Structure 1
Amino acid sequence: MTDIKRYEILEALPTYGPMYIPVTESGEPFYSEGFAVRFFKTDGSEWVANFQPGWTDLKGIYELKDTTNLLVIAYGTCYVMNPDDTKPVSVFGVGYVSVLNTQDGRLILQDQTDLTIIETDGSHWDTTRISWDGLKDLKLENNIVSGLSYDPMTEADELVHFSYDIDNKILTGGSYNRYETVKKPWWKMW
């Protein structure tokens, strides 16, 4: 990317100047203070966004390798934004808790039950469900994410190892698919 400043994360909403613009998934007005960001447009003007927050403490802005769009994470909710536009390109998630960076520029977002992969062009996809409710100790090596997934079905609330190959979209292990059974037709009772 260029060395031109495209955004500035603000400590709070400005007390003077033009009114901030609320950015939400639905486009509905949002009046509480969320995640405040000043964007600098390519024409030299600027605007302040107030992003509606999600449910966690994760916040930040990530530049995407193959697009001018930015990924804004506002307390667990993701907004793909073009700094020249006040409307998000896409909005997804509310509970992301951490981010891993791949060597090829992709981002891996951790939720409570699965992962979301942000491609270098800003598109995204979700893995299959990995955990019943909780992932921890994530590591990334050679585009394989590994870690522990919570299994509440055991007496000891066991943590089960998993690995996910993001290139081939293959899950190995994990607590959620531990109990997969052959599904019977709805009408068969025995």
Structure 2
Amino acid sequence: MPAPLLAGLSGLGFGLSLIVAIGAQNLYVLRQGLRREHVGAVVAICAASDAILISAGVAGAGALLDAVPWLGTAMRWGGAAFLLAYAALAARRSLHPGDDALRADDAGLRTGLLTVVGTTAALTWLNPHVYLDTLVLMGSVAAGHGDGRWWFAVGAVLASVTWFAALGYGARLLRPLFARPAAWRVLDGGVALVMTAIAVGLLVGVA
């Protein structure tokens, strides 16, 4: 197998192993996909952000986190604060569901594009784990491929694009299930629990 192809497949596999997991970003993409609400913008932001971070990691930007220790701490505090705030909103939706979650096709009830873009960007860039995965882990593994490291990056970016597109646009297949109010309450309750757990993990890392 040609070395560039091998490096690309390695990047694809490694990228999927990191991204296919229950996390704040994936849960938000799933929720927007279920609501069919600005899915293209959400997928584009997530995929483009990963492409930028993966490229930076392969280029060696991970050394910045080692050189500036306080930067990692600041990102943990900021990420934890945002996640706890979003968890509180999700918990409120779970305990007091409204019709907006169930009638997403009604344009009058759709969340504004700027709000969705801001939330997607925050869930992506305020999550310290994304920097560990892309700048540190991805960069380290890519370096092992020598001259083929950029093919590794291409594979990893392809994994990101494929996953977010499948999650965002494939979520509509679950819409019959989420026609039930109880299903939305369970989803929002799960979102609240996962985001709270991630935030606590970030704060424990700071302590």
After TM superposition, the score normalised by the length of structure 1 is 0.19
TM-score by length of 2: 0.18
Q: Which has the higher helix share?
A: 2
The structure whose residues are more often strand, as a share, is 1
